[in-house]
Structure 1
Amino acid sequence: MAFTIPRGTQDILPGDSEKWQIIEAKAHDLCRRYNYKEIRTPVFEQTELFARGVGDTTDIVQKEMYEFKDRGGRSLTLRPEGTAPVVRSYVEEKMHGWVNQPVKLYYTGPMFRYERPQSGRMRQFVQFGVEALGSADPAVDAEVIALAMEFYKELGLSNLKLIINSLGDKESREAHRQALIAHFEPRIEEFCSDCQERLEKNPLRILDCKVDREHELMNDAPSILEYLNEDSKAYFAEVQEFLEAMGISYEVDATLVRGLDYYNNTAFEIMIDGEGFGAITTLAGGGRYNGLVEDIGGPETPGIGFALSIERLLMALDVQGVDLVEDQHLDVFLITMGNRAKKKAPEILHTLRREGLAADADYLGRKMKAQMKSANRQRAKSVLILGEDELEEGKVNIKNMETGEQILIALEDITAELKKLLSGKGVEKL
């Protein structure tokens, strides 16, 4: 029986995995500079966590979750997003009592959503995200946005566009909610069944509908910006002031909603301009979610965060021709001739590797010519050639693959002489 990979998943092979390592290293380094600490949560959680945290009117909860029963009959779900698990941990571990506040966390890991696979969108995908919990300062909003923008820029992306909006505080959202219901209710039967269900539960989600996006009522729907109270207006103005002070360009888009129920006040998306990226141009999204901690059973705690897909980032880098991976080279390839020399190889390789050198050898019993071809294919910077005679004399030939120069050195001097060669200082002839 032949097995194939499940639809919507992928194997990341050598040649591509190095790109992932570079991106993950950038995430770790950037978060270190912004003083965010890594958190790792389980791949599956109680289903109710996402129903309450993400929102039961969202497409994620209604259509996309991988839900299953364990042997004890408990309903569990593969995590479709990272914020709810982080907030669950924040509550369960009582992080609100930590000395250092706000609590600034970041994560990277696989998420799972059952949706139609397409370019840059998988059923198993990897997110990098940050969450800042415990502060309602608009400066934190600006910091989170700045971190996301800097991540893309430092990896070499250009033509980025930051879109921001305010969804308002609880009072503003309620006023807007009533206006939306009054606007859509007379003709709600013209909308899809999902929108009809959302009318009372969360009419703001109607604005994010992909089915009815062209309906005429969408064009003149009440704008949240018209219903912001003075506190919400002042908060949004401060966020913009901080972004401007940091030299971060942005556009205000009153139609930006975000697809999760827990957002309020600041919401933002980072998009990419340019051809070749398809219809979906959003790279990252996030916003403030004051109230989510309480919904999950914790104390009143403000929070803000963002998440981005590594797959979509890689797609954007490819479209813009950004090559993250430099040519991979071996420092040294060991060629052996004869049984005694071959038995000596593991000891030599172990010594070289412990000294930090990338070293390899032939394990297929090939002739010297074939071994040399293997060294060339693996772009080895140098080659050690060890035969029976050299071993008897306690020596080994070292060849500089760039210049072709080959000299004889003592076996005990291999590491020191190789480091000289690789640093460009040359080696001493015997």
Structure 2
Amino acid sequence: MEEVSACSLNSTLFQQEHQKGTTYRIPALLYIPPSHTFLAFAEKRSSSKDVDALHLVLRRGVMKGHSVEWGPLQPLMEATLPGHRTMNPCPVWEQSTSRVFLFFICVPDRVTEHWQIRSGKNAARLCFLCSQDAGCSWGEVKDLTEEVIGSEVKHWATFAVGPGHGIQLQSGRLIIPTYAYYFSRRFLCFPCSVKPHSLMIYSDDLGVTWHHGKLIGPQVTGECQVAEVTGTSGNLVLYCNARTPNRFRAESFSTDYGDCFQKPTLNTQLCEPRYGCQGSTVSFQPLKMPYSQDPIGKAAPTTQKSPLLDSFLEREEGVGRPSGTWLLYSHPTSKKRRINLGIYYNRNPLEVTCWSRPWILHCGPCGYSDLAVVEEQGLFACLFECGQEHECEQIAFRLFSVQEVLSCEDCTGPSRD
């Protein structure tokens, strides 16, 4: 077994064989507290191209003190449909039953996303597996496409879940972040104005039945992740951070557990490289710090209310003070290309302009990532695409501490230009 220590260098979990051969992409990471277990998922592909995806793979890691011992790579052949490739792993842990739900999509071999968008004919299937033993074994695959999407699929050119982890809200609702390429009408058999929009798939009965919420709009939003945050008076809000083609990330809030989100806004503190990139976000309970100062003792920055939540924040006591929940976010930091993976924190998630400077987790080419919180240890974990020459060379794992993230205000890092 491989062992990874807290605050160590990156540990490679999935390694590309060669640039035009077997490649591992699209990481998803889940931490299961009772068994102190990490589940690290990825797509195995015959090349780096989306159309060459094959099936999902898994490595299980167990926390031993401040280290992780990783088991061997396992192919997840249970997560397949005949004649289809499996893509976009999105795991979520249900606490009361201790079950892991692994969502993914299955797409017919050689059918591209471009063809689906151009024709307006969805070919993706919404599927999941369930494990009751922290990923040691898995049940049979279940296809939820008709149950969850139903007749609305005629307006979805295609869709995908995640990629990356889902979450369980304090209410018990399970959330699977999703995005769909939506169109309202056709002209001469072709779909008109196909645009991606984020939305949530959810379950309120411990995963027995699943439904989908409303599309986030009107702005274009794509791959997304969500986190539940609380204000200083304990009000719960679902925060969504989504990919866009508009040079900046989109943020949106829901006060009804993800069924409907308010109009998203672009956050100029969170840049997107050309063509965008997936990013990850998690919420966590902050360390106890004086409200009058930031974590390194400097004066707290001026904050500006989000116009989306003005009425909500007016009910909050002590607006401008750190909230009961902070956010962590991972994403390439360059405005031009996928390089220099950064970790940002936000101590006031319900207010804008509160993101920190990035702490650079990996210098060089990077891509998709997924975060997890090891709350009992005060640690975070990140599973991410990276390399020396290009971002598809490997998928690496890294444990790091909150102190490392907070240190970003004390140091300078690679340029974000």
Check whether TM > 0.5: no
Calculate the TM-score normalised by the size of structure 1: 0.22
Q: Which has the larger radius of gyration?
A: 1
Greater helix share, structure number: 1
Greater strand share, structure number: 2
